[in-house]
Amino acid sequence: MKYSATVNSAKTANTACLVVPVFARRKLSSAADELDKASRGKIKSFLKKGDFSGKRNQLAWLYDLPYVKSTRILLVGCGDVKSVNKAVYKKLNTAAANAMIEKSVTTCTNYLGTIRNKHLGTGSVSKLTPIAFADSTYRFTSFKSKTGAKVSLRSCALAMNDKKQLGKARKALATGSAISAGMNLTRDLGNTPPNVCHPTYLAEQAIALGKEFSKMKVEVLNEAQMKKLGMHSLLSVSAGSEQPAKLICMHYNGIGAKAGKPVVLVGKGITFDTGGISIKPSPAMDEMKFDMGGAASVFGTMRALAEMGAEVNAIGVVAAAENMPDGKATRPGDVVTTMSGQTVEILNTDAEGRLVLCDALTYVKKYDPTSVIDIATLTGACIVALGHQTTGLMSNNQKLANKLLKVGKKIDDRAWQLPLGSEYDEQLKSNFADIPNIGTPGAGTIVAGCFLGRFTSEYKWAHLDIAGTAWKGGAAKGSTGRPVPLLTSYVLSQF
């Protein structure tokens, strides 16, 4: 998809479709009013018939209005203009894009971008439009013998009311477009079947990213190198798999390595999670290919930063392994030594994400980071707490937590902070090692965060549990691309 910003008269816009907002109680937007006057009252005449009231998410097609250049008009009901927040705006754009795809529309001029209230400004609508359109236009057909019809929609011109807004709109559109490209990479990696997307495959994708962008340098550590570093916790997870683990490090130097300390993103990359010896129940086990959602979001964020040529320094680290049961697999009761020197009693091999992350979080100290954020599909308990709408957030630094909450709200990729405290940390007691990999029942998401906190005391750190937000199940099964918008926005805010 190509995106542009324009200040076009609605009646003369040369495009296959005009997307025009109408508000509650049939109140016309400025674009709808212009079209109505140009067509001698045709829009008001249509609305008087009573089938379309402007209620949110209503859609109506009008064709061949007199004195209007575009042959198709898509009216989009927006409800009360004051109530159109960022989440609603995205849904309106997604609905419009779906409707145009169904009609095989190729190009559009989108006047939803002219909606303004306390929630929406030029920057917001310009960033959110490509993200919303990507939700509709994304297709994953790589493994289908018949791919079906391709999405015809190929360009969107976002209309502004004021020429003074164009510069800001174009810059924000470029950011939103890069974020949507990053989200699509995250979706692709998450949706790729686990017999293809294994740790070596992820390493190959990182190397390809490094070849595509000159400011991206990639380093991949193999199992022998990790063993030499003392990463026995990470390696305990891959012990039962024929697929060797990888530690993938992507360095994006947008302003030069000496110009600023990096933000470091660390992604859990369990390319398939059987649970190991503590094997999972079989229903929906296929969805455990999404257990590398944290890693996929690191890939997507690094791509977004590189694609927009962001003037930032960021490092994306992916701890990639496959968790399988065989004769060499780690057993419940085994004790391993982490890179930090702390020992871990593995009580449950299905709590493996924290085992790969703890060594990666120790490793990244070498980069002297300004902040470290780990991203992981870590606990089912997070879904119980926050559902599939909101990411769980824990941090050892409140300013960092506040910043993540703020940028997530701005880009409509929300997180919610959960507490970390000594009363939860007390659950992590072992008679046989320094720490067990699971605690006593209750507060599973928080206790997992406390476990990771044992390895992050030397820098500002936040943990994002995306178990509920990284993918959808059921008929809509697939990766969501989250939290690429949140992560990209945070990195951009730090430089």
Q: Which residues are catalytic?
A: 280, 354
For the sheet containing 335-337, what is the strand order?
A: 335-337, 343-345, 435-436
Q: For the chain, how long is the longest CA-to-CA vector?
A: 83
C-alpha to C-alpha distance for 92 and 223, rounded to whole angstroms: 48
Q: Say how far residue 150 (Cα) sits from the centre of its chain.
A: 24
Strands (E), 24-99: 27-28, 59-63, 72-77
Q: Please, which residues have CB within 8 angstroms of residue 148's CB and are 6 or more apart in sequence?
A: 141
Burial of 208 (C-beta count, 10 Å sphere; 0-12/13-18/19+): exposed
The token pair that represents 479 in the structure block: 């990766």
Strand bridging mode 155-159 / 246-253: unpaired
- Reduced to 3 DSSP states, what percent helix, strand and coil does the chain have, rounded to the nearest 5? 40, 20, 40
Take residue 57 and report the two structure tokens written for it.
């998410």
Number of other residues whose CB lies within 10 A of the CB of residue 447: 24
- Tell me the three state secondary structure of residue 63: strand
Look at phi and psi of residue 305 and say left if phi exceeds 0, alpha if psi is from -120 to 50, else beta.
alpha
CA distance 285 to 474: 13
8 A C-beta contact, residue 93 and residue 53: no
